[in-house]
Homo-oligomer: A and B are copies of this chain.
Amino acid sequence: MKGYSYRTGEHEPTTSLPLWEALVTDAVGDVIEFWGFKRNHGRVWALLYIRDQAMNSRQLCDSLELSKGAVSMITRDLEDWGIVKRVRPPESSAWHFVAEVEFMKMITHVLKRREGKLISRVQTDLDDARRLAEEADGTSEETLERIDRMRRLAGMMRQAIGIFTKTARFDVSDTRDLL
C-alpha cells in the first residue's frame, strides 16, 4: 500500500496538476487500492469527478502521467464497472469520459464478483474434503466437526460481505446520503 507525494514523498510530485487536485486524486487512488483495485483506477475516476467535465484520453495521460495504453485499459475497466461514461462531443472526434457519481458501485460490483467465485469454490472443496475425510479410516468425529465449522464459516463470510456491500451502497451523488 503506497502513500503519496505530498505527505510521504513516496511518489514523484505530479507536476502538471495543481497540488490540491493531486491530493484528491492520490487520496482516492489510495482508498481504491486498499480495496484491491489499481491505484490508477481511483485516480482517473477522481479527476473526472473533481473536474466535473468530460476529458479525453490525451488529457488524462497528461494530467495523471499515464501512458496511452494504461488510460485505454483503465477507462475500459471503469466503463465496464459503470462508474465512467464514454461520450463523443459533437465538436470533437475523440472519445471523452465523464464520471458517474456512484463511486461505491465499483467497489461493491467487483467485490461481489470476487467473493462469489471464491466462496462457492471454497464451499465445494470443503464439501469434498468432508466426504473424503469421512471415507478415510480413523477420522474422528471431532475432526469432522471441525471441518463442518469451517464450512459454516465460509457461509458466514458470504453473509458478512453481503452486509458490507449493503452498507456501502451510498454514493457521492447526493449530500443527504452521506451521514
Contact = CB atoms under 8 A, between A and B. Distances in A.
Interface stretch (A2-10, A59-67, A70-78, A89-97): A2-10
Given A34-B118, A114-B34, A164-B163, A133 B20 contact: yes
A170 B155 CA distance: 12
A125 B1 contact: no
Interface in A108-132: 114-115, 118-119, 121-122, 124-126, 128-130, 132
Given A132-B19, A143-B50, A150-B172, A27 B125 contact: yes
A20 B136 contact: yes
Contacts of A130: 20
A167 B178 contact: no
B1 A114 contact: yes
Contacts of A149: 172, 175, 178
Contact of A122 (B18, B30, B146): B30
Interface residues of A, number: 62
A136 B11 CA distance: 23
Contact of A160 (B147, B152, B156, B168): B168
A55 interface: no
Contacts of A19: 129, 132
Interface of A: 1, 3-4, 6-7, 18-21, 23-24, 26-28, 30-31, 34, 36, 46, 49-50, 52, 103, 114-115, 118-119, 121-122, 124-126, 128-130, 132-133, 136, 142-143, 145-147, 149-150, 152-157, 159-160, 163-164, 167-168, 170, 172, 175, 178-179
Q: What are the 6 A-B residue pairs with the smallest beta carbon separation, nearest first?
A: A152-B178, A23-B129, A20-B132, A20-B133, A20-B129, A164-B164
